[in-house]
């Protein structure tokens, strides 16, 4: 039995079938909103699921990432004012460097603040829970909500999850300014708008290597909310299907770019 790597929510009534083939036998139908256990495998546009202790298949495009929900903190802090997000902003579960990514809010979002700042992060009340955002990206005045032209150029042709990764990375790692997306490559996800290369500045330096490691860990930690399939960094790969094995070494491909030493590669699923 394949390992379950997460869950997805049916966005329509779905036929549950015995195999990924178009003429496979239908064994059940699940209603819109049903939470399904997925293995991460896809074939012929269908996603493999574990349904009633059996391996089954459903149409992948009708599956969506479930919302990350954490229990609200008891006795919410008092709201003391409001601020506007001046960038695509990660809403975090805690002020610590290790956190759960709740969501990413767009530029111009009005946020309720408590006035508490820890570790350069401001406490906010978001969806009836105490959360945290990076304080320096908050302003008393509403900023322009126009997407920067450079961002639009990066996101042209990208699928929804890839756009989420791009904007989440911009918020978490503003020092990364170069992203490569669409290109001809028959063995990768780039032509389909399902992949990004995050180019690490001064990648040979200790600071560059540390930054690349942080990006890779961030992507792996937040794979559910961002719809990430696999990550490659520094000649190592992690993917959902083999999550239990952690980071796995890759064969030498002959250069820093081919070995992903100068960039972090992130591939995503097509849903949003």
pLDDT of residue 271: 63
pTM metric for this prediction: 0.54
When pLDDT is cut at 50, 70 and 90, the band that residue 65 belongs to is confident
Calculate mean pLDDT across residues 10-29.
91
- Using a pLDDT cut of 70, give the percent of the chain over it: 94
The tens digit of pLDDT for each residue in 31-48 reads 998 999 998 888 888 899
User: 94 Cβ partners below 8 Å, 6+ apart?
Assistant: 100, 132
Angle at 81 between CA 119 and CA 108, to 5 degrees: 80
Does 258 or 105 have the greater pLDDT score? 258
Instruction: Enumerate domains of the chain plus CATH numbers.
Output: 6-64 (2.30.30.40), 81-139 (2.30.30.40), 149-268 (no CATH)
The tens digit of pLDDT for each residue in 93-149 reads 999 988 888 888 888 899 999 999 999 999 999 988 999 999 999 999 887 666 678
Calculate mean pLDDT across residues 179-206.
92
């Amino acid at each position: 039995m394949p390992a379950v790597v997460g869950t997805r929510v049916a966005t329509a009534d779905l036929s549950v079938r015995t195999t990924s083939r178009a003429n496979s036998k239908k064994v059940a139908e699940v209603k819109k909103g049903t939470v399904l256990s997925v293995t991460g495998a896809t074939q012929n546009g269908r996603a493999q699921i574990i349904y009633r202790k059996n391996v089954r298949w459903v149409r992948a495009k009708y599956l969506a990432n479930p919302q990350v929900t954490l229990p609200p903190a008891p006795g919410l802090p008092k709201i003391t004012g409001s601020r506007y997000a001046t960038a695509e902003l990660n809403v975090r579960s805690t002020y610590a460097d290790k956190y759960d990514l709740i969501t990413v809010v767009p530029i111009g979002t009005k946020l309720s603040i408590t006035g508490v700042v820890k570790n350069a992060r401001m406490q906010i009340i978001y969806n009836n829970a105490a959360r945290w955002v990076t304080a320096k990206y908050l302003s008393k005045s509403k900023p322009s909500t126009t997407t920067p032209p450079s961002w639009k150029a990066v996101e042209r042709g990208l699928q929804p999850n890839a756009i989420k990764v791009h904007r989440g990375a911009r918020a978490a790692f503003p020092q990364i300014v170069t992203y490569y997306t669409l290109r001809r490559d028959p063995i990768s996800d780039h032509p389909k708008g399902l992949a990004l290369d995050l180019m690490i500045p001064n990648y040979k330096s200790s600071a560059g290597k540390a930054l690349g490691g942080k990006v890779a860990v961030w992507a792996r930690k937040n794979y559910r909310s961002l719809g990430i399939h696999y990550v490659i960094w520094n000649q190592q790969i992690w993917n959902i299907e083999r999550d239990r094995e952690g980071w796995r070494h890759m064969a030498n491909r002959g250069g820093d770019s081919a070995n992903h030493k100068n960039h972090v590669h992130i591939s995503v699923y097509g849903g949003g």
